[in-house]
Amino acid sequence: MKFSKPVFLLLAVTLFFVACKLPKSKDELNKAAAEKIMKKDYKGAIEDLSKIIESNPTDTAAYFGRALTKLTAQDYKGAINDYNMVLKLKPTDNWAYLDRGNAKSKLNDFKGALADFSKAFELNAANSEAVLSRAICKQNLGDQVGACEDYKTAVYLGAPQAAEMLAANCK
């Protein structure tokens, strides 16, 4: 079948616009989100990750990525909501507990953060960041003895800055 030049151009333009409207694949959206994060375009990255979640509401990686992006953008409540979804779908994700605890700490919810850091450490006893964060929470809540015990554990596990914090806060 042979097309005239105007019909061929019309067909090519139509196909181009149809292709532009096709939804991006998960990999393309993840790549786009990563590029936007590097450019500190957190809103754009969150939109891309939200599209992945819309197409697959059980995608824990997309929820986790969006939560981490919200945490970086200082949308702590939004991050907590997304970490809640990660934990609903994958209740043993110690990193989601750790990061949700970090978001709660930023909101001065030290009791909630303490519970999350404790759960993260329970799930992974080698998670030095969880026990160090738990020590800081305990200190903020006035539990100096518990904080010092956790600082010692964090030093043992090799947490960066734990030795300095132990020396500065515990006698």
Kindly report, residue by residue over 74-118, the tens digit of the pLDDT: 999 999 999 999 999 999 999 999 999 999 999 999 999 999 999
Is pLDDT of 2 > 70? no
d(CA 8, CA 10): 5
Q: What is the pLDDT of residues 150-159, one digit of tens each?
A: 999 999 999 9
Q: How many domains does the chain have?
A: 2
Say yes or no: 76 and 144 in one domain. Answer: no
131 lies in some domain: yes
pLDDT at 69 over 60: yes
Same domain? For 102 and 57 the reply is: no
The answer to whether 163 and 171 are in contact (CB under 8 A) is: no
Closest CA to 135 of 116, 120, 119, 114: 114
Q: Give me the CATH number covering residue 39.
A: 1.25.40.10
For residue range 41-60, what is the model confidence (pLDDT) as tens digits?
989 989 989 998 999 999 99
pTM exceeding 0.95: no
Identify the pLDDT of residue 17. Answer: 40
Residue 62 belongs to some domain of the structure: yes
Give 107-129 pLDDT, tens digit per residue.
Answer: 999 999 999 999 999 999 999 99
Angle between helices 94-106 and 128-140 (to 10 degrees): 30
pLDDT band, residue 67 (cuts 50/70/90) = very high
Residue 19 covered by a domain: no
Q: Are residues 113 and 47 in the same domain?
A: no
Domain coverage including residue 154 = 96-171
pLDDT at residue number 19: 43
